[in-house]
Amino acid sequence: MPRLFIDDYSASNIVSKLPTLDNYYTETNVRKMLFSQDGIYQINNNHISRLMPVDIPTIKLDGFTVDNSYFKEQDVISQVPFNASYAEIVEMHFCVDKKSCVHLVVEGKYENDDIVLTKKSTTCTNENSHNRYNRFTPCSVYFTSLENLDNELISKEVNLLLTII
């Protein structure tokens, strides 16, 4: 699925906008990852797969960068490298309505172990943490769509979300 990055937009800029985006929040996905010198691995339930990057040149498009690169999954038959670093990458999805095919995705990590991550939602176990954005540090912001990115309806939805951020 292509990703549409906003040129010259730092992920840290969206921190103050996250509560405003809450009306458009749809879901949180959590990717459990292992990083090592031998590669990148993803953990899904009890299954570990190695992610092989497939790089495709980016395309510049009116203040945006389109990235069609993706990862190809490969089953891990032997063991995972011993010196791997573990990380939970959180993807928060926002869209104009539930049927929208355009998603604004904010990727990042939580800064504290008091956060319990599940597939569909984010729950805070710390009594002082009442919202999903507390202690969340974004590292990437982009749009995704199943449709062609130069479609007029897609452009309207992207523009609506851009006015908020």
Q: In what order do the strands lie in the sheet with 102-110?
A: 59-61, 64-67, 3-6, 136-145, 102-110, 85-94, 25-36, 39-44, 47-54, 70-75
pLDDT value, residue 113: 53
Q: Give the 3-state secondary structure of residue 116.
A: strand
Is pLDDT above 60 for 93?
Answer: yes
Mean pLDDT, the chain, whole residue set: 84
The pLDDT confidence band at residue 107, using thresholds 50, 70 and 90, is: very high
Eight-state DSSP code of residue 134:
T
**113 versus 87: which is more confidently predicted?**
87
Domain layout of the chain by residue ranges: 3-30+59-68+89-164
| pLDDT per position as a tens digit, 120-154 | 444 444 333 347 888 999 999 999 988 776 677 77
